[in-house]
Structure 1
Amino acid sequence: MPNNPPRRSRKYLIGIAVFIVLAVIASSLLSPAKKSEYLTSTVQRTDLENAVLATGVLQALKQVEVGAQVSGQLKSLKVVLGQTVKKGDWLAEIDPVISQNTLAQEQAKLDNLQAQKLAKEVRVKQAQLTWTRQQEMLAQDAAAKQDMESADAELRALRADAVSLEAQIRQQKLAVASAQQNLSYTRIVAPIDGDVVSISTLEGQTVVAAFQVPTLMKLADLSTMTVKAQVSEADVVRVKPGQPVYFTILGDPDKRYHGTLRAVQPSPEKINNAVFFNALFDVPNPDRTLRVDMTAQVAILLGEAKQALTVPLTALGERDKDGRQEVRVLKADQTVEKRKVRVGISNNFQAQVLEGLKEGDNVITGDASAVPERGETGDNGNSGRGKR
């Protein structure tokens, strides 16, 4: 009799434990299975383009550095920065005094030689008459042969002097022409139609053109601009002349300027140990919106499709031997159907679907269970809940 109370307690505890186990089993059997959840995206139509992206710099198609070919002080500037000029317009003037004096000196030398020529012609004519007279007298035995020889030698010497003088005159005429040309160089005119985009020499400064041509200003024809786009070595193999291209500028990112790729320079440039090749194309600039040294965000089109069926790249599986890729489609009844699709062009985010899907299909791009819940950290697994 004394052992009955503990035995009853033990049976009571065992009964409770059995009840809990049965309740857990019943709960797991009766509760519905948790359905899989997916991340999906709807197949839709949109304009798609595959492009090589690059950063470029704008330059004028025609650009000329205007320099001085003679030394001297810049006497006056006839233009201001930003002014539009026509070919032949007067831009600047180098002090012409030195060039004028040099021309006067060379002209005086030429005048002196021409005067010597006149005097030489008179002496030649006189020697010719003497030679003729000596020849007639020698024929009549009225003069000695020695006198005839002297007259002949004198005539030949004078004629040789005249020929030498002619050569000196021709040479001096060239010197005069050079002096005249140098004088014309003091008046600097525009070699092209364009705008004055920079002025590097101011009035009163002295320019020296002894070893290289000093630059006074820069003219640029802004009616047509050239874009120099820097294409990486990884992308340049896909780029070639004739491809369509467009770019935007920082000041107006919504407007596209279109052109055609003209050339890809064969020699690369190194920027921070990265290799880039310059791709060139031209665009009209009638309203002068585009300016020198602007930055251009360039897209060189490798392919494009208008209103194409598109899916995210994350929805595409591996490619089989026929070139098709597997896509999982979530149907209306929440079942999953696997399909093989054929894709066309693609960019970094989307691909064109040529067959295998229709507009409105929901393709699976991932598993929702792989997405961290709100408040969870992605790396250490610690709860992101705050302290109570």
Structure 2
Amino acid sequence: MRSVPIVTGTTTPPPRPRRKRGRLVAIAVVLALLAAGGLAGRHWLSPTPAAPQMTAVAAIGDVENSVLATGTLKPARLVAVGAQASGRITSVKVALGQKVAKGDLVAEIDSLTQQNALRTAQASLANLQAQRTEKEATLTLNRLTLARQKAMTAQRAASQADLESAQAGVDVTAAQIAQLDAQIVEGQVAIETAQVDLGYTRITAPSDGTVLAIVSQEGQTVNAVQSTPTIVVLGDLDTMIVRAEISEADVVAVRPGQPVYFTILGDRDQRYETTLTSIEPAPESIRNDSSFSTTTTSSSSSSSSSSTSSAIYYIGTFDVPNADGHLRTYMTAEVHIVLGRAKGVVTIPSAALGARAADGSQTVQVVGADGTTQPRQVRIGLNDKTIAEVRSGLAAGERVVTGGLEPAVAGSSGPPGPPGG
């Protein structure tokens, strides 16, 4: 009989069934899907919070409706002092920025040619006057001869022909004297012209002003035959004139006599106030109108089309005192032409205004004490597109809606994606 071997040691337990592990994984997946579905449902079913509103309080303030224009400052009197005589400038008597009075010597031109022309005219006049003196003596002689011939003819001591010859001598000499008288007048005019031409060599200031520019220098030769050369430019800086460019969209609302104020770029804190004096009836581009143009048809049509496409501005002018000289020539001015002003009135932001009704009133949304809004019709006066004047329908201290704010975080338009997606 065989003996059975005995095996000693630890025995291995049987393996766990795989079915139970798969069930646990399925349960976990189902729970994750349920959680994602719950979040998505909450996202879709929960109400979106209303966007907060921007509001403003109706307050007492001032409103101004004005037209904005760009202007250029010029002296009220701006004169280009030129030369009417040709020649070399021998001296310039003024300096840049110097103040001069009317009649002050500005410059001198070499006057030798003008002096010679004056002497020639004087000599010609003296010659004519000497000829006249000679003819006067001849006329005296001819008159004596005529008287003698008349006496002799009466006594039949001279012929009728001698008498007629003596009479003709008197008449011819008298006519020659009359001719010389006319020539003497012409000679006197020539002398006066030469004197004037000589005076042109001394260039004087035509009015009081300040030397703004010296165009021609000492030693330079000027030619006054072809054009009038400018020596210096004078301007009266005590009064400045502003030429403001007003657009064609605004000029229909602008009238002479309206209040005007302006500032300059270098000193915006200083405000100059005056009154609009005039508005030119046509823009400066009228100078290039094809009706006056002497160019060809093609160039005229080209300039006409370019002028049509460019902006049109009308020039408004007004004066401003400048005793302190703070304003300078050709400075740029920011001009405000006031169309209307309202002070100490109820004002609200223009953004609060809604649609305009048939009766002219406009709608605003008024915030009540409980935070709700109610539409209300109000009457608006001046409106500068930023602040509006409320004439009726709203009291100071009431709050109006001026706009809405976007939410801080905007929700997406669809459900959220799966976890981990």
Q: Same fold (TM over 0.5)?
A: yes
CA distance in structure 2 between the partners assigned to 1:28 and 1:67 by the alignment: 87
- The gaps in structure 1 that reach 5 residues or longer are 377-388
- Farther off after superposition, 156-165 or 16-25: 16-25
Letter in structure 2 aligned against 1:363:
V
- Cα distance change of structure 1 residues 130 and 364 upon mapping to structure 2, 3 Å threshold: same
CA distance in structure 1 between the partners assigned to 2:119 and 2:151 by the alignment: 48
1:210 partnered with 2:225: yes
Partner of 1:188: 203
SS at match of 1:360: coil
CA distance in structure 2 between the partners assigned to 1:137 and 1:16 by the alignment: 165
Encode CA deviations 1:229-251: one digit per residue, 9 max, x unaligned. Answer: 11111111111211111110011
Shift of 1:15: 11
Partner of 2:365: 328
- The gaps in structure 2 that reach 5 residues or longer are 1-19, 286-306, 411-421
- Cα distance change of structure 1 residues 146 and 50 upon mapping to structure 2, 3 Å threshold: same
CA RMSD after TM alignment: 2.9
Letter in structure 2 aligned against 1:40:
T
- Cα distance change of structure 1 residues 205 and 23 upon mapping to structure 2, 3 Å threshold: closer
Letter in structure 1 aligned against 2:396:
E
SS at match of 2:277: strand
CA distance in structure 1 between the partners assigned to 2:39 and 2:216 by the alignment: 97
Where do 4+ consecutive residues of structure 1 move more than 6 Å?
Answer: 8-29
Encode CA deviations 1:59-103: one digit per residue, 9 max, x unaligned. Answer: 111111111111111111110111111111111111111111110
CA distance in structure 2 between the partners assigned to 1:55 and 1:209 by the alignment: 37
CA distance in structure 2 between the partners assigned to 1:27 and 1:128 by the alignment: 139
Partner of 1:280: 317
1:250 partnered with 2:265: yes
Partner of 1:240: 255
- Residue 225 of structure 1: which of 237, 240, 250 is its match? 240
Shift of 1:28: 11
CA distance in structure 1 between the partners assigned to 2:37 and 2:232 by the alignment: 95
CA distance in structure 2 between the partners assigned to 1:20 and 1:345 by the alignment: 58
SS at match of 1:222: coil
Partner of 2:417: none
Shift of 1:137: 1.3
Partner of 1:162: 177
Tell me the percent identity.
46
Encode CA deviations 1:307-366: one digit per residue, 9 max, x unaligned. Answer: 222111110011111111010111232111221110101112111111111222211011
Partner of 1:379: none
Partner of 1:292: 329
- Cα distance change of structure 1 residues 205 and 17 upon mapping to structure 2, 3 Å threshold: closer
SS at match of 1:162: helix
Partner of 1:362: 399
Letter in structure 1 aligned against 2:86:
S
Aligned residue pair count: 367
CA distance in structure 2 between the partners assigned to 1:278 and 1:67 by the alignment: 28
- Cα distance change of structure 1 residues 17 and 111 upon mapping to structure 2, 3 Å threshold: closer
CA distance in structure 1 between the partners assigned to 2:227 and 2:35 by the alignment: 105
- Farther off after superposition, 303-312 or 56-65: 303-312
Shift of 1:14: 9.7
Letter in structure 2 aligned against 1:77:
V
Letter in structure 2 aligned against 1:343:
I
- Residue 347 of structure 2: which of 310, 320, 324 is its match? 310
Shift of 1:17: 9.5
CA distance in structure 2 between the partners assigned to 1:107 and 1:81 by the alignment: 40
CA distance in structure 1 between the partners assigned to 2:41 and 2:137 by the alignment: 143
- Cα distance change of structure 1 residues 113 and 37 upon mapping to structure 2, 3 Å threshold: same
CA distance in structure 1 between the partners assigned to 2:221 and 2:322 by the alignment: 36
CA distance in structure 2 between the partners assigned to 1:16 and 1:83 by the alignment: 94
CA distance in structure 2 between the partners assigned to 1:35 and 1:207 by the alignment: 82
Q: How does 1:95-114 map to 2 (within 5 A)?
A: 95-114=110-129
Shift of 1:19: 11
- Farther off after superposition, 103-112 or 14-23: 14-23
Shift of 1:144: 1.5
- Cα distance change of structure 1 residues 17 and 195 upon mapping to structure 2, 3 Å threshold: closer
Q: Please identify which structure carries the higher strand content.
A: 1
Letter in structure 1 aligned against 2:239:
T
1:45 partnered with 2:82: no
SS at match of 2:237: strand
**TM-score normalized with structure 1 length:** 0.87
CA distance in structure 2 between the partners assigned to 1:351 and 1:130 by the alignment: 107
- Cα distance change of structure 1 residues 117 and 22 upon mapping to structure 2, 3 Å threshold: closer
- Cα distance change of structure 1 residues 172 and 17 upon mapping to structure 2, 3 Å threshold: closer
CA distance in structure 2 between the partners assigned to 1:206 and 1:23 by the alignment: 96
